[in-house]
Amino acid sequence: MQEDHFKCKLTTWDYIYDLCLDVADQVKDSGYGPDVIVALARGGWFPGRVLCDLLGLDDLESLKIEHYVGTARTGEDPHIRYPVAPDAVEGKDVLVVDDITDTGKSLSWAVDHIEEEHSPGRVDTAVLQFLESSTASPGYVGEVLDEWAWIIYPWNFIEDMVDLVGRVLGDEPLDMGGVRRELRERFELDGLWFEVAQPNRMEEVMEEAERRGVATRGGGGWLRA
Ligand code: ADP
């Protein structure tokens, strides 16, 4: 998220759970029976845990990949921040799970890493949401998004909202109505849907933005801290 105007889509737990159900059905229909799920941290954790439940798997592993961007390095290099436990996937059929593929690099790096370092059996991939712009082609996809948007998942609602609030605040105080208006105009966050998806949470978002040093109170409203 770099620019100051882009489309955001706020999702709910129910909606995300339905996508998990769709992915699980696809895996079952395909006949694939993975032994272990490797969930990419952090976005793959909720889907990974739910897919374990839906597919009847005990083994859930985590893999955290970080991207280096800009300053110290040129371009983007994968960096395995927290690898898979050495014997967790050896000889096993693996399902790598993430929330969304944007460029698709995370997913393909994860697969390469597991195949090169851990001698697994079959390795397949699943994502809840797939942006058509992605170069990857995951094995199982909950939903294809034909238009790019930043998806606000329920598990990082506060994190994303604090980030967005930080972008709309400035030197002129904004009251809550002003903050909501800016969120609508710049990030297409519809106020009505917001209250359906995450009822009564704007106060909490602003308080958390203050606690995290992003926002401060002043002039009868909110300012950039
Ligand atoms: P990819 O390698 O698939 O492009 P990125 O490296 O761009 O993924 O992003 C890594 C993580 O950032 C994703 O797993 C997801 O959690 C989050 N992310 C990326 N794009 C989006 C998006 N459009 N909306 C919400 N989260 C995203």
Q: Provide the whole-model pTM.
A: 0.93
pLDDT band at 71 (very low <50, low <70, confident <90, very high): very low
CB atoms within 10 A of CB 207: 11
What residues does ligand 1 touch, defined as CB less than 6 Å away? 40, 43, 67, 98-107, 150-151
The angle subtended at Cα 19 by Cα 191 and Cα 55, nearest 5°, is 150
pLDDT band at 75 (very low <50, low <70, confident <90, very high): low
How far are the Cα atoms of 92, 107, 187 from residue 119, in angstroms, in the given order? 8, 17, 44
pLDDT over 70 percentage in the chain: 94
What CA–CA distance (Å, rounded) separates 133 from 11? 20
Nearest Cα residue to atom 23 of ligand 1: 150
SS (H, E, C) 41-53: ECCCHHHHHHHHH
Query: Which atom, in ligand 1's list, is nearest to the CA of 152?
Result: 25
3-state secondary structure of 172: coil
Contact 163, 187 (CB under 8 A): no
Instruction: Write out the H or E segment, with its range, that includes residue 207.
Output: helix 202-211
Q: How far is the CA of 68 from the centre of ligand 1 (A)?
A: 14
Q: How far is the CA of 217 from the centre of ligand 1 (A)?
A: 32
Query: Which atom, in ligand 1's list, is nearest to the CA of 103?
Result: 4
Q: Which residue out of 106, 107, 128 has the highest number of ligand 1 atoms within 8 Å of its CB and is therefore the one to mutate?
A: 106
How far are the Cα atoms of 14, 39, 93, 191, 214 from residue 125, in angstroms, in the given order? 22, 10, 11, 35, 37
DSSP 109: H
Comparing 78 with 27, the larger pLDDT belongs to: 27
The alpha carbon of residue 61 and the mean position of all alpha carbons in its chain are separated, in whole angstroms, by: 17
The mean per-residue pLDDT over the stretch 60-65 comes to 96
Residue 73: the pLDDT is 45
Query: Which atom, in ligand 1's list, is nearest to the CA of 131?
Result: 23
The mean per-residue pLDDT over the stretch 137-156 comes to 96
**Widest CA span of the chain, in angstroms?**
63
Q: Which residue out of 10, 97, 102, 137 has the highest number of ligand 1 atoms within 8 Å of its CB and is therefore the one to mutate?
A: 102
Q: How far is the CA of 172 from the centre of ligand 1 (A)?
A: 32
